[in-house]
Structure 1
Amino acid sequence: MNIEQARFNMIEQQIRPWDVLDQEVLNLLAIVKRENFVPAAYRDLAFADLEVPLPAGQHMFQPRIEARILQELAVKKHESVLEIGAGSGYMAALLAHRAQHVLTIDIKPELVELAKSNLATNGVVNVEVAAGDGSRGWPAAAPYDVICVSGGLPVLPQELLEQLKIGGRLAAFVGTAPVMKAQVITRIDEKQFRVADIFETYVEPLANAVEPPRFKF
């Protein structure tokens, strides 16, 4: 496989048509080597428009979803980021190139180790990988400028919103099967939030995600 040609095709044929037009984001996709974050057995699928399998039954998002979320969050160099769901460490690496510091949390020990290894191997030094349940955020290091939830949330917990700074942004996949909304929520002030629906998709819910209340008769 011609890796650079495959990367170029991914950017031009999958990502740009999905309204990812921020040149800094497109450049970053060429700089951060996605194939280095994909398990060796699936390396040939690194640039395919599908969810690449990871250990512990998890998956990497399609490249276009990662790129679109990165664009919509518009992370700046002075900002701190919380990512919930470390996976292979790839999204954390993308965020880290735009942020001052990234804290990424995963509940699966094998993914914590995988992300740590991949980030170290690729020279990403401003990411901390921690083991734990991030389904309600990570209040110990709050507040954050940006929160990126790399998994589904049937309900968006209020605790998560409260961990945003004023002006902070949160990206999450909210709802239940068959369709969830990818949303970016901006904290306007202490009590107000602005919600933007970006696109519709379906992603697997986070472990221990808050469930909607069930009606009882």
Structure 2
Amino acid sequence: MTHYIYLVRHGEHQDAEYGLVDGPLSPRGRRQAAALADRLSGLAFDAVWHSPLERASQTARAVAERMPSVSPQPSALLFDCVPTGMTDDTPPAFEPFFGSITEAEIDAGRAQMADAVSEYLVRKNGEVHELLITHNFVIAWFVREVLQAPDWRWMTLNQAHCGLTVIAQKQGRPWTLLSHNDLTHLPKELQTGLPDPQPV
């Protein structure tokens, strides 16, 4: 018996166009969410959790429209957050990212992700399928945790809008990363949200 957690970043939202911190899904984001819902529609989820922010809530509703048996629930543990600040091991190239982020925000993010790991990365009995619709940094932290990578490595793990990451744990074994940022359900024009490749 295996416990599966499906981690999904919300669909594209309108912040880039309108400068909003949060907002509704863009037309492309709604198409991404619909494609995700089609991809997941054959699975019987035991629970669906989502960030309370509008972009994640709307993505969860799109999934629920295609799976009437699920009832998505908001969780404050899945809010967008910054899980760490600069550490002794963090490459200096990442320092500018933290320029506008306060120590209080970092402390809150660190505490939130510690609680999220304690809440979700806990083995449940039987065959379990859970869906978490959340944010790029939150998923990156879960993946870093599963891989037991250094804290700063979450900054190098990026997810596209409605990309699908799957982690799993068999009884008595550690958590395993089964797939990361799977985009096969999204046509090329719907693959957004990843940083531009750096020039070589």
Please report the TM-score for the alignment, with normalisation by the length of structure 2: 0.40
Q: Considering fraction of residues, name the structure with more strand.
A: 1
Q: Considering fraction of residues, name the structure with more helix.
A: 2
Please report the TM-score for the alignment, with normalisation by the length of structure 1: 0.38
